[in-house]
Amino acid sequence: MENEAKKRILSGIQPTGSFTLGNYIGAVRNWSSLQTDFDSLYMVADLHALTVRQNPAELRRHTREAAAMLLATGIDPQQSILFIQSHVPAHTQLSWILSCNTQFGDLSRMTQFKDKSAKHADNVNAGLFTYPALMAADILLYNADLVPVGADQKQHLEMTRNVAQRFNNLYSPTFNMPEPYISKTGAKVMSLQEPDKKMSKSDTNVNGFVLMTDDADTILRRFKRAVTDSDGIVRAGDDKPGVTNLMTIYGSLTGKDFAAIEKEFEGQGYGTFKEAVAQSVIDTFTPIQAEYSRILEDKEYLDGVLAEGAQKASRIAERTLRKVYKKVGLLQL
């Protein structure tokens, strides 16, 4: 079988709202290009989304929209397995076992936990804390070789590797060691308003992000308002975080490197540059948006893809789970 020779990929995204340009450049756009060379599984991480308060009706809608958006970006259900995390119960089952093999001290060092508990001080729940154990289960159930994510998830990947290593040493070799796959450019797209902060869909300042569902006017407006600096020169550098971020976005979408971009906008103000960046985003998102609307309207097709995805993913996941249950000493009848 052809698939047996291929390495396996797994990644996930939370249905906490429309995807941002950061989600697209840092993670999602790589997924469809990897699916031909890898045996790929892509998941909408709805259980992870519950770690912050969700409106039930909205979560349901966002989950469906997230799946439709992934298909619209080119994930092909004939090549990849696309599924919803909660449709495969093995994720929560393995996550319990892994959380019993994850140390409190390690979890307290997670940057995302610290950030999110500061942001949601009224709801620092146990799920937010044990989030990495569920993420480790997502990855280890499928023995993924590679996990394509943005730079902010690197720490969770290291945690997954530690848990896998500890489990393998304590019992016997069970899990594969997954490697993060982080693209060289655009692994951390910054907020358009505070370029020292990552662009995030849950930012309270809407001017900080661009959504994949935004129309052309909104996209243009966001870029026109983007924070830059006062020297008016299109050049990358640590002293110019705003402009560098815009160059990263433009470069990721057009394939041009920093030197080419500097040359292209030499002697021109930020106005022209910002318009060009906005246009590159509009050109990328317009065809995806058309496809997205089409898929979202075809409920039968979308549900069919997700049902099949859940079935295929479960088959792989349950095999791993059974092995783990046996190894840790759970009684099997």
d(CA 107, CA 56): 27
Site string for ligand LTN, 144-173 (x = CB under 6 A): ---x-x---x--x-----------------
201 binds, among ligand ATP, ligand LTN, none (CB under 5 to 8 A by kind): ligand ATP
Distances, alpha carbon 172 to alpha carbons 68, 183, 324, in Å: 40, 33, 10
10 binds ligand LTN (CB under 6 A): yes
Q: Is 198 a catalytic residue?
A: yes
Rg, C-alpha atoms of the chain: 21
Is 184 catalytic? The answer is: no
Rule CB under 6 A: say whether 99 interacts with ligand LTN.
no
The residue (of 131 and 175) whose beta carbon lies closer to ligand ATP is 131
* Interactions with ligand ATP, residue window 37-56 (CB under 6 A): none
Question: Can you read off the two tokens belonging to residue 49?
Answer: 């989304």
* Residue 7 annotated to the active site: no
Residues 184 to 243: which contact ligand ATP by CB under 6 A? 187-189, 198-202
Binding mask 105-144 for ligand LTN (x = CB under 6 A): ------------------------------x--xx-----
Check: CB of residue 141 under 8 Å from CB of residue 317. Answer: yes
Q: How far apart are CA 41 and CA 309, in angstroms?
A: 9
Structural contact between residues 75 and 44, judged by C-beta atoms closer than 8 angstroms: no
Rounded Cα distance between 308 and 76, Å, is 13
Is residue 79 within 8 A of residue 40, CB to CB? The reply is yes
- What's the CA gap between 55 and 58, in Å, rounded? 5
Please tell me which residue in 7, 154, 188, 201 is annotated as part of the active site.
201
- DSSP symbol at 197: S
Residues that bind ligand ATP (CB under 6 A): 13-14, 16, 20, 22-23, 25-27, 149-150, 152-153, 187-189, 198-202
Residues that bind ligand LTN (CB under 6 A): 10-14, 45, 48, 135, 138-139, 147, 149, 153, 156
Active site residues: 116, 198, 201
